[in-house]
Amino acid sequence: MKLTGAQMVWESLVREGVTTVFGISGGAVIHLYHALPEYPIHHVLMRHEQAAAHAADGYARATGRVGVCMATSGPGATNLVTGLATAYMDSSPVVAITGQVATPLIGTDAFQEVDITGITLPITKHNYLVTDIHELPTVIREAFYIARTGRPGPVLIDIARDVQAAQAEYVYPEEVYLPGYQIPQEDCQSHVQEMARLINEAQRPVIIAGHGVILAGAEDALLSLAEKAQIPVVTTLLGISSLPETHPLCLGMAGMHGEAYANLALCEADLIVALGSRFDDRLTGPAKHFAPQARIIHVDIDAAEIEKNVRADLAIVGDLRDILPALISLVEERDHTDWLSRIREWRKESAERDILAQELDELFPQYVIRQIWHATQGNITVVSDVGQNQMWEAQYFIHHRRRGLISSGGLGTMGFALPAAIGVQMALPHEQVWVTAGDGGFQMNIQELATVVQEKLPLKIAILNNGYLGMVRQWQQFFFEGRYSGTPLLGPDFARVAEAYGIPGLTVRERSEVMPAIERALATDGPFLMDFRIVQEENVYPMVAPGSSIQQMIRRPLHSKR
């Protein structure tokens, strides 16, 4: 079969099972767009390439399938950068396809030429520049394989314009040959036995469940392990929903804004079992003070994560889906009564301090999040943005659904939520998808409201509007003499902006209006936006000051609203 390079791209995408592509056109991809209508692929026209990358990322995180985005050369390609870096930091399988100037022009500073493979070298798992049409099918096959296997990550394919226009015989390779790419498949039986021995000996074990549990699809195995040996589980931000937060063994998120009892459990533990977590500094605080009494077992699919940040007494490199079932059969049943009741005491103390336990009449963000949870029974996928709003969402929404939270963890990219949610909703048309965002981050990709309308996506959007770049303001309050430099933020009337795009919107100022607003959103067929004017200087508690050990937390002052 003879195809043009452009046809080869779409044909290969169809064979990879791709049904949706997020992108924006331009001169260097015009051949690609010309061929698109011949193929059963839905193209979502975004309003910014960064958003296209986030949408592909969201699509991937919601499903585990590869998300695809597309951009033209030059500014189109550079606009993808933040989105690719976001996907890279959070191990999300994305394939980005960019157009490049024609082969004879490469290196001449031609119009809209940019060295995008050079630029994205450190933020992709791998990338390709294709200047020969005969390599194109193999490159696409490899790109998808690399993106989704092992530790997933983004792969970029830069295709010269003349390659898209050229014609050649098309053969899609069955097999990939990548001698330098190994997915760990070592026989870890002896390690698993050692791991079981350490777990069986432990008096105060804690599991850290990271994003890797979700990426591996090992949620069931995690649950069985935790239940059989009665091991409490803390999660990282991206590990949220690896174990239902309704489960008594789930202590929720640990780390800088983690639950106090989750952090105390890590500090008092005699054994830490880290599953698919890379010991990010937001989780551990200074590595040398982390979990001083504990032996550490580290299981990860990426060998380079072992001993990168935190020492490991036992390390296993492999797939949690293979390792956990083997482990569970070797782990003995335990009840850890004393340990669990100590944690329950800490938990009770936290509950008493909790802002929701206090008599409040102002509009607190924690209340808004908890009401969204009540109204939806938690049966939604939340895509959260970055900042205080992200932490309140993580703390106050009780996630029990698989892949029920999608958020930018490693890069902490403001502006992620709305475009990522577009990807999530495209992937899960029958699920309810909510965006939670701050007034700052929402304005970073607000233009995607147009895409929401164009695609008729029923997204529900909750803005926690505090009139500040709130997370930075909080740091200024705590550590920089309360000097609010560059953080007060004048926002638009978000409800009216939404209406201008064709999305009904509502401004909520009173506590009593919260539930009715959420109910109206739920009763609306299409998209709906709520602008919650929350208490402006509310802080996220607890907070581990940067540089402190995670047991030294700044707690919410007792009997105070702030």
Partner 1 sequence: MTHTRHTLIALMEDKPGVLNRVSSLFRRRNYNIESLSVGHSETPGISRMTVVVNGDDRVVQQVVKQLSKLINVTHVQDVSNRPTVVRELALIKVRASHGTRSEIMELANVFRAKIVDVGATSLTIEITGTETKVNSLVRLLQPFGIEEMARTGRVAMVRDGASDEGPGTETPF
Ligand X SMILES: Cc1ncc(C[n+]2csc(CCOP(=O)(O)OP(=O)(O)O)c2C)c(N)n1
Closest CA to 536 of 479, 461, 460, 477: 477
Nearer to partner 1, 153 or 239 (CB): 153
**Cα-trace Rg, the chain:** 24
Half-sphere exposure of 537 (CA within 13 A, CB side): 10
Q: How many chain residues touch ligand X (CB under 6 A)?
A: 19
Query: Does residue 180 bind partner 1 (CB under 8 A)?
Result: yes
The answer to whether 290 and 272 have CB atoms below 8 angstroms apart is: no
Q: Which does 386 bind (CB under 5 to 8 A by kind): ligand X, partner 1, Mg ion, none?
A: ligand X
Identify the residue among 30, 105, 303, 489 touching partner 1 (CB under 8 A). 303
Identify the residue among 13, 71, 265, 464 touching ligand X (CB under 6 A). 464
Q: Which does 218 bind (CB under 5 to 8 A by kind): partner 1, Mg ion, ligand X, none?
A: none
The answer to whether 420 and 58 have CB atoms below 8 angstroms apart is: yes
Strands 155-160 and 205-209: unpaired
The answer to whether 12 and 416 have CB atoms below 8 angstroms apart is: no
Query: Does residue 470 bind ligand X (CB under 6 A)?
Result: yes
The answer to whether 527 and 519 have CB atoms below 8 angstroms apart is: no
Listed in sequence order, the DSSP H helices in 244-397 are 260-268, 281-284, 320-330, 337-353, 365-376, 388-396
CB of 391 to ligand X, least distance (A): 8
Identify the residue among 21, 249, 414, 461 touching ligand X (CB under 6 A). 414
Query: Does residue 472 bind ligand X (CB under 6 A)?
Result: yes
CB of 409 to ligand X, least distance (A): 11
Restricted to residues 353-382, the positions that interact with partner 1 (CB under 8 A) are none
- What the block records as the tokens of 362 is 């102002």
The answer to whether 229 and 205 have CB atoms below 8 angstroms apart is: yes
Question: What φ, ψ does residue 237 adopt, rounded to 5°?
Answer: -55, -45
CB of 544 to Mg ion, least distance (A): 21
Q: Which does 412 bind (CB under 5 to 8 A by kind): Mg ion, ligand X, partner 1, none?
A: ligand X
CA distance 275 to 198: 15
Nearer to Mg ion, 83 or 441 (CB): 441
- What the block records as the tokens of 301 is 């699919």
Contact region with ligand X (CB under 6 A), list: 158-166, 290-298, 411-419, 547-555: 411-419
- What the block records as the tokens of 203 is 């008096």
Q: In Å, how far are 70, 229, 318, 435, 497 from 198, measured between CA atoms? A: 48, 12, 18, 42, 57
Listed in sequence order, the DSSP H helices in 354-486 are 365-376, 388-396, 417-427, 439-442, 449-454, 470-479
CB of 163 to partner 1, least distance (A): 15
Nearer to partner 1, 172 or 181 (CB): 181
Query: Does residue 471 bind ligand X (CB under 6 A)?
Result: yes
Nearer to ligand X, 7 or 476 (CB): 476
Nearer to partner 1, 119 or 522 (CB): 119
CB of 532 to Mg ion, least distance (A): 11
Query: Does residue 308 bind partner 1 (CB under 8 A)?
Result: yes
- What the block records as the tokens of 559 is 């009997």
Residue 429 makes CB contacts below 8 A (sequence gap 6+) with none
CB of 129 to partner 1, least distance (A): 8
User: Which residue type is seen at 433?
Assistant: V
Binding mask 417-456 for ligand X (x = CB under 6 A): ---------------------xxxx---------------
CB of 470 to ligand X, least distance (A): 2
**Coil vs helix vs strand at 428:** coil
Nearer to ligand X, 157 or 394 (CB): 394
Identify the residue among 194, 227, 270, 302 touching partner 1 (CB under 8 A). 302
Nearer to ligand X, 305 or 439 (CB): 439
Identify the residue among 378, 387, 404, 542 touching ligand X (CB under 6 A). 387
Residues in contact with ligand X by the rule CB under 6 A: 386-389, 412-415, 438-441, 464, 466, 468-472
Residues in contact with partner 1 by the rule CB under 8 A: 117-118, 121-122, 125-126, 129, 146, 178-182, 302-304, 306-308
